[in-house]
Structure formats: structure tokens, C-alpha cells
């Protein structure tokens, strides 16, 4: 295995601060930094110089092309490559890249989902440079391409992507958080940013087996498969020793990510067999979002080098845990202070307490929006299934903060519970300093010391949407708080009154118990907390009057942009379920039925031979009977599915189609799977047409 020198490779493919300092004239560098840090407008003259420097750097590294890299509403990234090439008029060509080309690109937007925001005749879309996320070189066997992070908007300036609302929400949060800081006498902070560290779960399976599973190829998950004798019940995979093929994969993955300046830090085996996790060190939300897209992309790219395939689907296998993404979120000042750090005596930290209750209020009021931010067809299989947070949004605060909030509510705030030392019992072991509170793994939104961890996000999703929703709703509450506090005569008294009122009004969303329990589902219903079980039920939240008013007030999304996002979600849901339904029909008809029939024929021959020999043939006949009956059951279910797929084909309204998918096609998928999985059990292993769960989950290196 090739040795890695971290300091040599880290960031080598990034047009980062060090490269800018080295390659840009001082004055230009200062202006660009000012735009990156403070959001000042970039002049055309500066862009020209930056473009040139970027091009020279990329070409020195061996790049021949550049691409505006953007994040359409499909949730994945898109790129269109252009060569650094301009004819010189004398039969040759020179490498050129202008400021104009850096700042603005044109993309035919008609093939990206727009949710009706753009009529088909208005195909023009623009990509615009986001200088706050660094440009980078994408490397593969064919060479290097300079990728410039951009937003995508329509001819009329409407956001057609996931990055634009995120950038707008950063501005909104900054504006409102600064108002609060000023009220607390902070005159030095220039900017408040949000930081995110996204832990990424994924599966790795053998590529040869993958190629034989049409369901995984077409849908990202298994649609068939009986449980093997062993699942995850022994808890022997979580944090288990890494298998060599997997650790070689991680080694190369880290190397590629480090080259891109992505601080991949933690890696381990997860709960399910073949499941793993990677966590980078947190960074600003915009960069973290771009980085997470690159992490997912790089995982997929590197896996085949080890004859593996990386599955990012939320539920690749029924019966074992699926994958999610933990979105760790905090607010930080440009001076480096984490505003969600409670300090040693949180009860004396009024600013922290105010920000804390602002988050609590925001989550309580907009629980439905937070829920939709984690909605995708794959996540429907995870949320509420005892492996991931329930579909009910609640907040875990831990013993210390809950105690403080109780004190405030009761009107006498005097102390903070402190962490203690812990003895492990053996004299040779050191005393450990205990954290003030234990962890809670079952909460969808947990305070974990100095940040909130939103644990519902699906593993394949972009984190842009959860974060622009969290940023906006927190900005909205801070705005309300600032409006009130700016008018206060006695500021300190008003702050305490506000904190107390907010706790009283919104404490129903705080829950420190077991989120996986049935009692919590009942208790949450008593508290009036929404329990939004599926993506279909979650979608309307993005276009309620409440949500639209908030997004419009803070300039994050317009009414039309909200409506469009709902349409796109309906479309995404319907399309995914239809593809799954079609795949099931295909696999059942072309692979499972022929295999079962072939095997039935063998068994029928056996019955006849046994009969002819004059011996008992009861068990062979019983097997044949089961095979035939199960086959019939499968045929009936497949016929129903084929008919349902015809019905949905005729539906133009996306919401109607999605509803039909949820209520009719989705249940039919189980109707097909049950007899098919029984057939897998009945048919001899060597006659089964594709690798089973046992093969996929327990492949030998």
C-alpha cells in the first residue's frame, strides 16, 4: 500500500487560501478575501485576475478543462466540461479562461427538475460562481478538471438548485444573530456563520455480486431477499476490526478526500454487516455541504478500485439497519467563538440560554419543515423503524440543560449541575472526567455539548436542504427575539422573561427519554407533536402559508420556489416508486419465475420417479405443491402491479401520482416480495438466479 504524507497531499487539488496568496497580487487577494469573508460584491476586474490565476494553477497541475459545478434539485451534482481553449486565428489554439467565464456560465436548464418554475421554452439557465467555497481539481484516470462551485438559476433569477437557498439562509442567520449579539454588547463580531460536520454512513458490497442484482442496479436497494440465518443481532460488526479490503478502500478514499482539502477524520464499521461510516471535521455549512457531495461521489468512485460498490441508499437491505447522515450544526462568530458552547456555568450564560431557547422554539414551530428536510423515498424505510430516530421531531438536551430550563421555568435560577470524576474500579486505570450528561442515540435532534445533531437526514441526500431550513427557522426566531429586545427598557429582565416564556410555550418538544419506545409515540401524541410517517405526508410542509411567509420574510425562498420544491418532491417520490415497481415486475418475471418453474419441473420429475419406484413421495409432492402455490401468489401480485403501473402512467398531476404510488404501488411491492422471498427459501440455492442476502452481506474477501 502506497504511503501517504498527509502534509504533502492535503489540499493539493484545491485553489485554497495558500494558493491564492501565492498566485494573486496582494491587492486582488485582499479584495477577494473581503468578498469571501464579508460578502462584498466582486468587481469584474478582480474576477479577471482571479480567473487567470486559477487557470494557470489548474494548467500547471495538468488540467485541460474547467467546469461549473452545481447542485440541481436532483440532490446530486452536475458538471459540464469546457476546454481551456481558444483558437489563435493562425491554426493553433491558446489556453484561455476569462473572468466572465469564471463568474457566469450558461447551462441548458431544461433537463433539470424545476418544479414548474421554468417553462420548457425558457431553457436558459445560468450558473454563477460561489467564491465562498473553494474551486478544486477533480482527478480521475482521464486527467484533471478544474471545478468551480456555482449556483444554478433560471433566466429570471429563480433558484433552480440547492445551494442558492443555503447561501441566502446563511445571510439571514447572520443578519439576525448579529442583532442579538449587538444587544448583548458585542460590537466586534462582524459575522455569524453556521458550522456543520456531517457523518456519512454507507454500505460496501462486492461488485461481481452487485452486477447480478438488477434491483440494486436500478433502485439502489434490494427489492427481494430473504433474511440469512445471521443478521446484526450479535452486534459484532459495530466498531469491529476492519476487513483488509475495506481498510484499503478507506485508505484510498481518505487520500482522495485529503487531496480535495476535505478533513476526513473518523472511520469505523457500523451496526449492519458491510456498513461503515466516515466523519470529517466540521467546517462552514456551505463548504461542508459541497464537501459532503464530494465525499459521496468519491466513495462511489473509489469502491470499484477494490471490486466493491458503495451503496448510499437509506435502506439497501430489509431487516438490518439502514444508513443516515448525522448533521452536526452550530453557530460560530468570525472571531472563532462557538455561540452554542454553554461554558462551565451555563446558568450564568444568558446569551447561550437565549440562543438555546431560540432553537427549541424554532424546532417546535417548524417541526414539519424539519421533517420534510429529511424526507426521501429511501428514508421512509428507516425513520420510526427502531434503528433511526422516530418520525416525531423532538429535542434532547441532557440532564444539565434540562435542569437549568426547569429552574428558569420555576423562576429561580441558581446553579448548573457539574460533571464529576468517575472511577472504573481497577487501581491501574485512570480516573476519568465524566461528561455532565450521557448521550442519547434515539433523539432526532440532540444537543451534544456545543452543537445540535440532527440525525434524521437520509444517507443519500444533500445536506443543503436540512441546513437552509434550520438556518432560516432559527433566523426567524432570533428576528422575533431581537424585535422585542430592541424595545426593552430593562434588557436583562426582558431577556429572562423571554427565556422563561419561550420554555413554557415550547418545552413540549424537549424529550430526554427513549425515542424508539412505543410510550413516546403515545406521549408525543398527547403533547400534540406531529408524527409525520412518510415522505408523502411530509411534503405539504414546504408550501404551507406558515413556511412560505417565513422563507419570503428572510429572502430564502419565494412562494414560487417553495411550490416548485413540493412539486419536485412529489415527482421524485412517484418516479422512484414507479421504478421500484417496474424493477420488481422485471425481476419476478424474468428471473424469479423462470428459476422457480425450472426447479418445480425438477421436483415434478422427482415425484414421478419416486412414484414409479413405488416409494413414498409425500415430501417431494408437498414441496412441489408449495412451489406451485407460491408461484401462483407471485403471479397474481405481479399482475396487480403491472395493472397499477398502467394506471399511474396516465396521471398528470404529480401529487395524485405520488399518492397513488404510496397507497397502491408501495403495498403491492410487499405483496410481490413475500411470495418471492418464500420461493428463494424453497428453491435450491444453485438454481436461484442472483446472490442472496447471505452472499451479499457476508461475502468473503
Q: Could you tell which of ligand ADP, Mg ion, none binds residue 214, using a CB distance below 5 to 8 A set by kind? A: none
Task: With residue 143 as reference, give the H or E element that holds it.
Answer: strand 143-154
Interface stretch with Mg ion, choices 100-108, 234-242, 265-273, 326-334 (CB under 5 A): 326-334
Instruction: Measure the N-to-C terminal CA separation of the chain; round to a whole number of Å.
Output: 17
Q: Minimum CB separation from Mg ion for residue 568, in Å?
A: 28
> How many other CB atoms are there within 10 angstroms of residue 62's CB atom?
10
218, 577 Cβ separation under 8 angstroms: no
If the CB atoms of residues 31 and 199 are measured against Mg ion, the closer one turns out to be 199
Nearest to 637 by CA among 601, 605, 607, 673: 673
If the CB atoms of residues 45 and 281 are measured against ligand ADP, the closer one turns out to be 281
Q: In the set 278, 279, 309, 654, which binds ligand ADP (CB under 6 A)?
A: 279
Nearest to 16 by CA among 136, 181, 141: 136
If the CB atoms of residues 330 and 692 are measured against ligand ADP, the closer one turns out to be 330
- Nearest-angstrom CA–CA distance, 21 and 29: 6
Task: With residue 267 as reference, give the H or E element that holds it.
Answer: strand 264-269
Tell me: does residue 137 bind ligand ADP (CB under 6 A): no
If the CB atoms of residues 145 and 200 are measured against Mg ion, the closer one turns out to be 200
- Nearest-angstrom CA–CA distance, 438 and 503: 22
> How many other CB atoms are there within 10 angstroms of residue 618's CB atom?
9
Tell me: does residue 330 bind ligand ADP (CB under 6 A): yes
Residue numbers 198-217 binding Mg ion by CB under 5 A: 199
Dihedral-angle region of residue 39 (phi above 0 means left; psi in -120 to 50 means alpha; beta otherwise) = left
Tell me: does residue 196 bind ligand ADP (CB under 6 A): yes
Q: In the set 163, 168, 237, 326, which binds ligand ADP (CB under 6 A)?
A: 326
Q: In the set 99, 197, 377, 675, which binds ligand ADP (CB under 6 A)?
A: 197
If the CB atoms of residues 177 and 223 are measured against ligand ADP, the closer one turns out to be 177
387, 419 Cβ separation under 8 angstroms: no
**Contact map string, positions 180 to 199, toward Mg ion, x by CB under 5 A:** -------------------x
- Residue 80's DSSP bridge partners are 68
- Nearest-angstrom CA–CA distance, 22 and 425: 56
Residue numbers 238-267 binding ligand ADP by CB under 6 A: 266
C-alpha cell at 376: 426521501
Tell me: does residue 76 bind ligand ADP (CB under 6 A): no
Tell me: does residue 507 bind Mg ion (CB under 5 A): no
Q: In the set 118, 237, 276, 326, which binds Mg ion (CB under 5 A)?
A: 326
Q: Minimum CB separation from ligand ADP for residue 285, in Å?
A: 9
If the CB atoms of residues 270 and 580 are measured against Mg ion, the closer one turns out to be 270
Q: Minimum CB separation from ligand ADP for residue 457, in Å?
A: 13
Q: Are strands 445-447 and 395-396 parallel, antiparallel or unpaired?
A: parallel
> How many other CB atoms are there within 10 angstroms of residue 192's CB atom?
24
Tell me: does residue 195 bind ligand ADP (CB under 6 A): yes
649, 657 Cβ separation under 8 angstroms: no
Interface stretch with ligand ADP, choices 123-131, 240-248, 325-333, 529-537 (CB under 6 A): 325-333
For the residues of 18-55, what is the DSSP string, one character each? HHHHHHS-HHHHHHHHHHHHH-PPPPHHHHHHHHHHHH
499, 408 Cβ separation under 8 angstroms: yes
Tell me: does residue 338 bind ligand ADP (CB under 6 A): yes
Burial 645-669 (b: 16+ CB within 10 A, else e): beebeeeeebbebbbbbbebbbebb
Tell me: does residue 398 bind ligand ADP (CB under 6 A): no
Nearest to 573 by CA among 454, 669, 668, 665: 665
If the CB atoms of residues 268 and 559 are measured against ligand ADP, the closer one turns out to be 268
Q: Which residues contact 32 (CB under 8 A, 6 or more apart)?
A: 20, 24, 42, 46, 50, 131
If the CB atoms of residues 295 and 669 are measured against ligand ADP, the closer one turns out to be 295
Q: Minimum CB separation from Mg ion for residue 199, in Å?
A: 5
Residue numbers 465-504 binding ligand ADP by CB under 6 A: none
If the CB atoms of residues 166 and 196 are measured against ligand ADP, the closer one turns out to be 196
Q: Minimum CB separation from ligand ADP for residue 446, in Å?
A: 9
The residue at minimum Cβ distance from ligand ADP is 197
Tell me: does residue 447 bind ligand ADP (CB under 6 A): no
* Count of residues touching Mg ion (by CB under 5 A): 2
Residue the block writes with cell 487560501: 17
| Dihedral sign (CA 150, 155, 159, 164) | positive
Q: Could you tell which of ligand ADP, Mg ion, none binds residue 181, using a CB distance below 5 to 8 A set by kind? A: none
Rg from Cα positions in the chain? 28
C-alpha cell at 345: 456555568
Tell me: does residue 573 bind ligand ADP (CB under 6 A): no
If the CB atoms of residues 69 and 329 are measured against Mg ion, the closer one turns out to be 329
If the CB atoms of residues 448 and 630 are measured against Mg ion, the closer one turns out to be 448
Tell me: does residue 450 bind ligand ADP (CB under 6 A): yes
Q: In the set 328, 379, 400, 472, which binds ligand ADP (CB under 6 A)?
A: 328
| Chain residues in the site for ligand ADP (CB under 6 A) | 195-197, 199, 266, 279-282, 326, 328-330, 338, 450-451
| Chain residues in the site for Mg ion (CB under 5 A) | 199, 326
Amino acid at each position: 500500500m502506497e504511503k501517504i504524507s498527509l502534509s504533502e497531499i492535503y489540499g493539493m487539488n484545491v485553489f485554497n487560501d495558500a494558493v491564492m496568496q501565492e498566485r494573486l497580487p496582494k491587492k486582488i487577494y485582499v479584495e477577494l478575501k473581503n468578498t469571501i469573508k464579508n460578502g462584498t460584491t466582486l468587481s469584474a476586474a478582480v474576477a479577471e485576475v482571479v480567473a487567470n490565476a486559477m487557470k494557470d494553477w489548474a494548467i500547471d497541475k495538468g488540467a485541460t478543462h474547467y467546469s461549473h459545478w452545481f447542485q440541481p434539485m436532483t440532490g446530486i451534482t452536475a458538471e459540464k466540461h469546457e476546454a481551456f481553449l481558444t483558437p489563435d486565428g493562425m491554426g493553433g489554439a491558446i489556453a484561455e479562461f476569462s473572468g466572465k467565464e469564471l463568474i457566469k456560465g450558461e447551462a441548458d436548464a431544461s433537463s433539470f427538475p424545476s418544479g414548474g418554475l421554468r417553462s420548457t421554452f425558457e431553457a436558459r439557465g445560468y450558473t454563477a460562481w460561489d467564491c465562498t467555497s473553494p474551486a478544486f481539481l477533480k482527478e480521475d484516470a482521464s486527467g484533471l478538471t478544474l471545478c468551480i462551485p456555482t449556483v444554478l438559476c433560471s433566466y429570471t433569477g429563480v433558484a433552480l438548485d440547492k445551494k442558492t437557498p443555503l447561501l441566502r439562509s446563511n445571510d439571514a442567520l447572520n443578519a439576525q444573530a448579529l442583532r442579538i449579539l449587538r444587544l448583548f454588547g458585542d460590537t466586534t463580531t462582524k459575522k455569524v456563520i453556521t458550522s456543520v460536520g456531517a457523518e456519512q454512513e454507507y454500505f460496501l458490497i462486492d461488485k461481481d455480486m452487485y452486477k447480478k442484482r438488477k434491483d440494486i442496479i436500478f433502485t439502489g436497494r434490494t427489492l427481494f431477499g430473504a433474511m440469512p440465518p445471521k443478521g446484526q443481532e450479535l452486534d459484532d460488526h459495530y466498531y469491529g476490526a476492519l476487513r483488509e479490503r475495506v481498510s484499503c478502500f478507506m485508505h484510498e478514499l481518505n487520500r482522495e478526500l485529503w487531496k480535495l482539502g476535505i478533513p476526513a477524520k473518523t472511520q469505523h464499521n457500523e451496526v449492519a454487516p458491510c456498513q461503515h461510516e466516515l466523519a470529517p471535521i466540521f467546517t462552514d455549512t456551505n463548504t461542508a455541504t459541497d464537501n459532503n457531495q464530494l465525499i459521496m461521489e468519491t466513495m462511489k468512485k473509489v469502491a470499484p478500485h477494490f471490486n466493491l460498490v458503495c451503496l448510499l441508499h437509506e435502506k439497501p437491505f430489509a431487516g438490518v439497519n439502514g444508513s443516515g447522515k448525522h448533521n452536526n450544526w452550530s453557530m460560530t462568530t468570525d472571531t472563532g467563538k462557538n455561540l452554542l458552547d454553554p461554558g462551565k456555568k451555563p446558568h450564568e450564560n444568558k446569551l447561550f440560554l437565549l440562543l438555546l431557547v431560540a432553537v427549541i422554539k424554532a424546532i417546535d414551530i417548524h417541526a414539519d419543515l424539519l421533517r420534510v428536510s429529511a424526507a426521501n423515498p429511501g428514508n421512509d424505510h428507516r425513520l420510526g423503524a427502531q434503528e433511526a430516530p422516530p418520525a416525531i421531531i423532538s429535542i434532547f438536551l441532557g440532564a444539565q440543560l434540562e435542569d437549568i430550563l426547569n429552574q428558569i421555568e420555576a423562576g429561580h435560577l441558581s446553579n448548573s449541575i457539574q460533571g464529576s470524576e468517575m472511577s472504573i474500579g481497577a487501581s491501574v486505570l485512570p480516573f476519568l472526567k465524566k461528561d455532565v450528561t450521557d448521550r442519547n442515540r434515539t433523539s432526532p435532534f440532540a444537543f451534544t455539548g456545543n452543537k445540535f445533531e440532527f440525525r434524521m437526514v437520509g444517507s443519500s441526500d444533500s445536506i443543503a436542504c436540512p441546513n437552509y431550513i434550520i438556518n432560516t427557522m432559527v433566523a426567524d426566531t432570533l428576528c422575533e427575539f431581537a424585535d422585542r429586545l430592541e424595545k426593552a427598557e430593562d434588557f436583562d429582565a426582558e431577556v429572562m422573561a423571554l427565556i422563561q416564556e419561550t420554555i413554557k410555550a415550547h418545552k413540549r418538544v424537549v424529550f430526554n427519554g427513549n425515542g424508539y419506545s412505543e410510550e413516546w409515540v403515545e406521549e408525543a401524541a398527547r403533547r400534540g407533536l406531529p408524527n409525520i410517517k412518510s415522505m408523502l405526508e411530509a411534503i405539504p410542509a414546504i408550501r404551507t402559508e406558515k413556511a412560505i411567509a417565513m422563507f419570503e420574510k428572510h429572502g430564502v425562498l419565494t412562494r414560487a420556489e417553495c411550490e416548485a420544491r413540493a412539486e419536485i418532491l412529489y415527482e421524485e417520490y412517484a418516479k422512484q416508486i414507479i421504478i421500484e415497481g417496474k424493477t420488481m415486475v422485471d425481476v419476478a418475471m424474468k428471473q424469479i419465475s423462470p428459476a422457480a418453474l425450472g426447479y418445480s419441473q425438477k421436483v415434478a420429475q422427482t415425484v414421478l420417479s419416486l412414484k414409479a419406484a413405488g416409494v413414498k413421495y409425500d415430501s417431494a409432492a408437498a414441496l412441489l405443491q408449495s412451489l406451485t402455490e407460491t408461484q401462483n401468489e407471485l403471479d397474481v401480485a405481479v399482475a396487480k402491479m403491472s395493472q397499477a403501473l398502467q394506471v399511474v402512467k396516465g396521471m398528470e398531476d404529480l401529487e395524485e401520482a405520488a399518492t397513488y404510488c404510496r397507497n397502491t404501488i408501495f403495498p403491492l411491492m410487499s405483496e410481490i416480495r413475500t411470495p418471492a422471498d418464500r420461493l428463494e427459501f424453497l428453491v435450491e440455492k444453485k438454481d436461484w438466479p442472483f446472490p442472496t442476502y447471505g452472499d451479499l452481506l457476508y461475502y468473503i474477501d
